[in-house]
């Protein structure tokens, strides 16, 4: 499934909810299903800088695709990174680098986050793309 297909699926899922309270609950539920990072990777070098809460992301290249795992100490933030990982994990580095992230605006996420969480969201996207750039150079 392409990144665009996954993002469209996420947009469709979020459109089913009436209000943002339901959407936040859905994000929390997505966070519970997040592919968990191994404790060994919960290091300072894997913390995303620019997030108010702690967010750890680990990336591995498997069969020319990047597999992401993550965790956060905050439930909403964990839901946010879960959405991004669902979109970008198991994709080719070039596809991640080239991926559009307008789906974030289409589900209305950015406008419903505090300024610090919105900055954290941007930092998460940037970090996932930086991993992709690093792995792209290895291919």
Angle 137-55-25 from CA coordinates, rounded to 5°: 120
CB-side neighbour CA atoms (13 Å) of 52: 13
Measured between alpha carbons, how far is 16 from 100 in angstroms, rounded to an integer? Answer: 22
**Residue among 27, 51, 57, 96 flagged as catalytic:** 51
Measured between alpha carbons, how far is 123 from 127 in angstroms, rounded to an integer? Answer: 6
Burial class (CB in 10 A: 0-12, 13-18, 19+), 77: buried
Question: Is 83 part of the annotated catalytic residue set?
Answer: no
Tell me which residues are annotated as active site: 51
């Amino acid at each position: 499934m392409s990144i665009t297909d996954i993002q469209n699926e996420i947009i469709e899922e979020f459109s089913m909810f009436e209000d943002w309270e339901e959407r936040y609950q859905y994000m929390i539920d997505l966070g519970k299903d997040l592919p968990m990072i191994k404790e060994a990777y919960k290091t300072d070098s894997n913390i995303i800088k620019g997030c108010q809460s702690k967010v750890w992301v680990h990336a591995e290249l498997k069969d020319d695709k990047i597999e992401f795992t993550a965790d956060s100490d905050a439930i909403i933030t964990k839901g946010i990174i879960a959405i991004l990982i669902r979109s970008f994990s198991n994709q080719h580095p070039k596809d991640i680098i080239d991926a559009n992230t307008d789906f974030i605006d289409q589900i209305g996420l950015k406008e419903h986050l505090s300024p610090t969480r919105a900055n954290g969201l941007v930092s998460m996207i940037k970090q996932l793309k930086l991993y992709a750039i690093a792995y792209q150079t290895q291919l």
